[in-house]
Structure formats: C-alpha cells, structure tokens
C-alpha cells in the first residue's frame, strides 16, 4: 500500500510504516492509496471558527497542504489515519471544533505522560483490550465532533482519544502509536490499518 505522508521528517512514523510494509509517498497524493496525518503543532483556530485562545506552533502552509490532502482522500473514499494533531485535523475538516488548551495531557520536558483509557472500538479491543494505557503529549483535544464522526475511545477524564467515521474509512487517535513505550505494540495499529 502507498501511504501519503505530507511534509516533514517523521522518523517514528517512517519506522511504523516500514514495519507494516507500506510504501511512503511524498508527492502526488491522488496516486496514493491512503493518507497519514501525523502529529505536530496546533491547527489555526480560524479553520474551525475561533480566535486563538492558546494555540501554539501554527503553520498555515501545513494546514493548507493537509486540508487539501484530506479533501482528495475523503472525496475518493480512500483510507485516512490521523495521529494527535492528525486526529484534530480530521475533526476540523469535517466541521468539528477543538479545545485549544486543556490541562493534564502534556508533560513538560522529556518525560512522556501516560494515562488509562477505555474503548468500544472493535479494532482497538482486538489489539489492546477494552482498557489500556496510552501516551499523552498534547494540550489540545476534540471538542464538538465533526459530521459523521463518533468517539470510540476516551481518557479517564473523558477526553476523546480515538474517533471513527460512520461511513468513510477514516480513523484517528489522539495518542501516539508510532512512539508507544513498546514500539511494536503501537505499530500493530499501523499494520492493521495499512497492510
């Protein structure tokens, strides 16, 4: 499978995609089989009709390129997988909104914060069980869900940790499977979605 990974140097994502045998595409998204929207800085709040109330690291060119790629893959009914910022982009592209600054989900410094979660999603249950630990390195999260999306995983405080589209092959997680504390365990999700 050819997976479009727009922009940037993402070694953890490259390792995960290599693990599942996917070919990485950097150009011509219309010729690729699936889209991966990776983590990173915050999305410009203008895209979901809000003023900036705590968003950081905004890159308008990245927002534009990812929005364009999302439209191409969604219109063609091709798989889209979002991670962290990517999950937020999926939600925004379908008309949803974000909490711009939430407490307790980002550790300062090099340590990675982890917390429990629960899921009702059959794929996640088959890989990790109904309750499992996820990493947490974000300060924004999904607020109002976009059209056709449903929450399928939650942190202990109720923060949405995964979403799935009702009819399109769109799946996204707020946590980072590409840098799971046991890498192969996290990479299993990439394998299930892209192999």
pLDDT in tens, 61-92: 999 999 999 999 999 999 999 999 999 999 99
Per CATH, which fold does 2-194 belong to? Rossmann fold (3.40.50)
pLDDT of 7 reads: 80
Strands (E), the chain: 2-4, 23-25, 34-37, 80-83, 98-99, 113-119, 131-136, 141-142, 149-155, 160-165, 170-173
Q: How far apart are CA 133 and CA 103, in angstroms?
A: 18
Q: Is 176 a catalytic residue?
A: yes
Q: How much is the pTM?
A: 0.95
Q: How far apart are CA 164 and CA 91, in angstroms?
A: 10
Q: Which residues contact 182 (CB under 8 A, 6 or more apart)?
A: none
Q: Is 84 a catalytic residue?
A: yes
Selecting among 105, 165, 176, 180, the annotated active-site residue is: 176
Selecting among 66, 84, 105, 161, the annotated active-site residue is: 84
Q: How far apart are CA 130 and CA 138, in angstroms?
A: 22
Q: Looking at the predicted structure, is the pLDDT value of residue 111 above 70?
A: no
In the chain, % of residues over pLDDT 70:
96
What integer best gives the mean pLDDT of the chain? Answer: 93
Residue entry with tokens 């979660």: 117
Selecting among 66, 161, 178, 180, the annotated active-site residue is: 178
pLDDT of 109 reads: 61
């Amino acid at each position: 499978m050819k997976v479009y990974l727009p922009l940037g140097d993402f070694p953890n994502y490259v390792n995960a995609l290599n693990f599942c045998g996917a070919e990485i595409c950097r150009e011509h998204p219309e010729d690729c089989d699936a889209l991966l929207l990776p983590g990173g800085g915050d999305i410009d709040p203008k895209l979901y009709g809000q003023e900036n109330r705590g968003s950081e690291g905004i890159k308008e060119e990245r927002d534009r390129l990812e929005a364009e790629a999302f439209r191409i893959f969604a219109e063609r009914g091709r798989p889209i997988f979002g991670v962290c910022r990517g999950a937020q982009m999926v939600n925004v592209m379908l008309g949803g909104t974000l909490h711009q600054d939430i407490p307790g989900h980002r550790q300062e410094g090099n340590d990675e914060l982890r917390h429990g979660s629960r899921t009702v999603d059959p794929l996640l249950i088959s890989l990790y069980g109904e309750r499992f630990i996820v990493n947490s390195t974000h300060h924004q999260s999904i607020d109002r869900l976009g059209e056709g999306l449903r929450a399928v995983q939650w942190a202990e405080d109720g923060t949405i940790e995964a979403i799935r589209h009702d009819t399109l092959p769109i799946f996204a997680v707020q946590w980072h499977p590409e840098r799971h504390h046991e890498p192969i365990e996290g990479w299993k999700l990439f394998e299930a979605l892209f192999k």
